[in-house]
Structure 1
Amino acid sequence: MNALRQYTDLYNAHCKDIDAHAPALLNELRPRAFEALQGKELPDTHTEGYERTSLDEMMTPDRGLNIMRLGHSFDLSTAIRCELPNVSTLQAYLVGDTFVPTEGLDRRLPEGVIFTSLARACEQWPDIIKPRLGTLADLNDVPTALNTLLCQDGAVVRIPAGTHLEKPLQIVNVFDGAEPQMAVRRLLVIVEKDASAMILTCDHSKSDTHSCLSLQVTEAWLDEGASLDICDMEETAASNARCSRLYVSQQTGSQLRANIVTLSCGTTRNDMRTDINGERCRTEINGMAICTERRHADNCSVVRHLQPRSHSRQLFKYALDDYAQSAFEGSILVAPTAPYTEAYQSNRNVLASSTARMHTRPQLEIYNDEVSCSHGAATGQLDEQALFYMRTRGIPEREARMMLMQAFMSDVIDSVSIPGLADRLRHLTEMRFRGDTAVCGDCPAK
């Protein structure tokens, strides 16, 4: 039996409880999601685009879901610290899918800025939320439809027109409790006309003693002239699983910079779809993954140029060791309505062992002659000549390998524009390449 059946059966048995503990705006989306799932199955390795990652296998284990919205026992005073040196963030937690603000968060927000739970936002600002929620998410995508069917809460970020938020917003995703759990989260990001924001999301797990699954969908709206820097960072245990969808809509003159960082994971699948719906947009999507043991990271990025005179750049890099297997699929689509597009994509990978495997598939789909586009992929080993040179200069082999791997990732790390975060990532990647556990909680408290 495909794993999807257990979730649709769960919904049929508990739909009244799910609706009773969720906002009305979310409940309105469920019937279409349920209809979209009829006759479908979760993707497995026989599904196109999922040849290396089975979501059916990922979602088969029995995990608890907090349908009745039971209170959490999460203690912020002893929580994983996830703080950035030399920068102050406006921080909140998602404990499972429950929004937990840090003390005084509302008072620290500039006028008109919304940074709160999805449930609260739906109740207090329905005129802002309703036109956007569920509009970008593709219900033909089975994980997205499943998220829409079961989701009860999450987070909302809204930056009003003309507002430039100086401090980054930070969402720390954690699990509460010692039993296997599933968190179905929904994030809605709205950056209105000529506004700007920086958002950092961090996925964490405290231990490797139980299996947790994150099923997350993010919808991000960039209105005319808006600017968004978003960094999604994962540092989780080998037993964890993550399925994340990011949908972005860019309007005229907007700018997006997205960084997808996998420092450690169990089995991860990240999908990003960026629709460039206005002229003169700029889009930069960068990603990096460090996988050891038998860990697995799979990124799929699609950029669709639908209007003219826009520029996009995608750069993804992987460093794999031991028996790690990972995948990347990148796609650029240029519509007939998008002349004078510039779009570039690159995937570069280093295998530090003979047993690591990387699978890559870059794609171009162009329906206009007046464009400049390119894509490429390369997978190889560390430069043995450079390694030999460093060893002749007295650098131990392990240290030399770490330095070369760090240099390999440098352009992705340098692309992170959130203040203080690039330096932190350099430290964390160095720890990973040395074989140490990279824990964001090591950051010194502010």
Structure 2
Amino acid sequence: DFSPNYGIALTPLNGPLPPYFFRITDAEPRARILYNKVADANDSIVALNTMLCVDTLVVHVPKGIRVEHPIQISNILKGEQDTMVNRRILIVMDEMAEANIIITDRAASQSRFLTNQVIEVVMKDDSRLNLYEVEETHLLCTRYNSVFVQQGRNSRFHHTNLTLFNGHTRNRLEIKLQGEGSEVTANGCVIADKMQRVDNNTLIDHQVPNCQSNELYKYVLDDSAVGAFAGKVLVREGAQKTISKETNANLCATKSARMYTQPMLEIYADDVKCSHGSTVGQMDEAALFYMRQRGIDEKETRLLLKAAFITEVIETIPLESLRDRLHVVVDKRLRGELSKCEGCKLCQ
């Protein structure tokens, strides 16, 4: 439930407002000034979204407002015909504003869907934002998701992207640290099997001194699934005292699963602490043997090892209620009990 007492505005740029949203009069003109200023307008996928998107959802948290309860934006794909969907979200965090935002993608019918989503985030000085994206669709869904973030001085941005079920997904994350003392945590978790494909492409751009970034992406690939990760950390000239860590760890549960990984560092400053690395491996045979010796059957053993591998990402989520729910959903997914959207009252 959203109330003016929270001081938060959710409003489309065009068209009527949904009955459960409300409007703050100065949110719309401010949003128009920022619209398409953060995203990469030269990118063909973004340009297509800009051309075809008929509306934009604006989330504006004013100066000094701390939103106590999480905001959830549910995107539900439903229809009898094959459909292309273009969505645009603009998030504006004013000075010292704080919020948790959860964006979920679900499919309530088995039609083919092509989704092109662009999210722009503007973070002013001393703002705090935890942004979570969860995808639970099906094998006939193709999703292009682009997130662009600008951070001001001493801002804190935590982003977690979880792909639990999909067809073909390409995620792009671009973060520009433009104010001194800003910090970003960018994590991702992928569970894929059958013929699923998930690509994650990230860029963390350190433009000023005294900023920190920490990035962790983990994949569990089964059957003939394909994963790809290309993560670049750019430290510009003059961005001294930068601290950055980038890690990509991947578990291929079968010989037919494939993973392509390319972590990158591009550094033009000399007083920095930066590291990057990636691993691709299969099940630990010693761990499998150890657990089998203690009476755990092979199927359960493999499931427990996969869950333990993913847990590191889940445990970094600051929002306890979401963290607890994801532990349950991930367990269902790994057991094969979740083969599409997990379902909720909104989809029924």
User: What's the TM-score, normalizing by structure 2?
Assistant: 0.94
CA distance in 2, matches of 1:299, 1:258: 13
CA distance in 2, matches of 1:369, 1:232: 35
- In structure 2, do the counterparts of structure 1 residues 152 and 363 end up closer, same or farther at CA, with 3 Å as the change threshold? same
Q: Between the two proteins, what is the percent identity of the paired residues?
A: 36
Cross-structure match for 1:425: 326
Q: Which has the larger radius of gyration?
A: 1
Deviation at 1:326, TM superposition (A): 1.1
1:417-443 Cα offsets, whole Å, 9 max, x none, are: 223111111111111111221644369
Greater per-residue strand proportion? 2
CA distance in 2, matches of 1:190, 1:139: 19
Deviation at 1:206, TM superposition (A): 1.7
Q: For structure 1, which runs of at least 5 residues remain unmatched after alignment?
A: 1-89, 91-104
Q: For structure 2, which runs of at least 5 residues remain unmatched after alignment?
A: 18-22
Deviation at 1:273, TM superposition (A): 0.2
Contact 1:331 1:363 in 2 (8 A): yes
The counterpart of 2:176, out of the listed 261, 272, 275, is: 275
Greater per-residue helix proportion? 1
Say yes or no: does 1:194 pair with 2:89.
no
Amino acid at match of 2:159: A
Cross-structure match for 1:40: none
- In structure 2, do the counterparts of structure 1 residues 154 and 419 end up closer, same or farther at CA, with 3 Å as the change threshold? farther
What are the equivalent positions in structure 2 for 1:26-425 lying under 5 Å apart? 90=1, 105=2, 108-119=3-14, 125-208=27-110, 210-425=111-326
- In structure 2, do the counterparts of structure 1 residues 443 and 184 end up closer, same or farther at CA, with 3 Å as the change threshold? closer
What secondary structure, in the 3-state scheme, does the structure 1 residue paired with 2:35 have?
A: coil
1:140-159 Cα offsets, whole Å, 9 max, x none, are: 11101111111111311000
1:18-41 Cα offsets, whole Å, 9 max, x none, are: xxxxxxxxxxxxxxxxxxxxxxxx
CA distance in 2, matches of 1:332, 1:175: 34
- In structure 2, do the counterparts of structure 1 residues 251 and 420 end up closer, same or farther at CA, with 3 Å as the change threshold? same
CA distance in 2, matches of 1:197, 1:240: 30
Q: Where does structure 1 differ by over 4 angstroms across 4 or more consecutive aligned residues?
A: 120-124
Amino acid at match of 2:41: L
Cross-structure match for 1:83: none
CA distance in 1, matches of 2:185, 2:128: 12
Contact 2:69 2:100 in 1 (8 A): yes
Contact 1:344 1:375 in 2 (8 A): yes
User: What's the TM-score, normalizing by structure 1?
Assistant: 0.73
CA distance in 2, matches of 1:143, 1:340: 35
1:56-105 Cα offsets, whole Å, 9 max, x none, are: xxxxxxxxxxxxxxxxxxxxxxxxxxxxxxxxxx4xxxxxxxxxxxxxx4
Contact 1:207 1:237 in 2 (8 A): no
Deviation at 1:130, TM superposition (A): 2.1
Deviation at 1:127, TM superposition (A): 2.8
- In structure 2, do the counterparts of structure 1 residues 125 and 280 end up closer, same or farther at CA, with 3 Å as the change threshold? closer
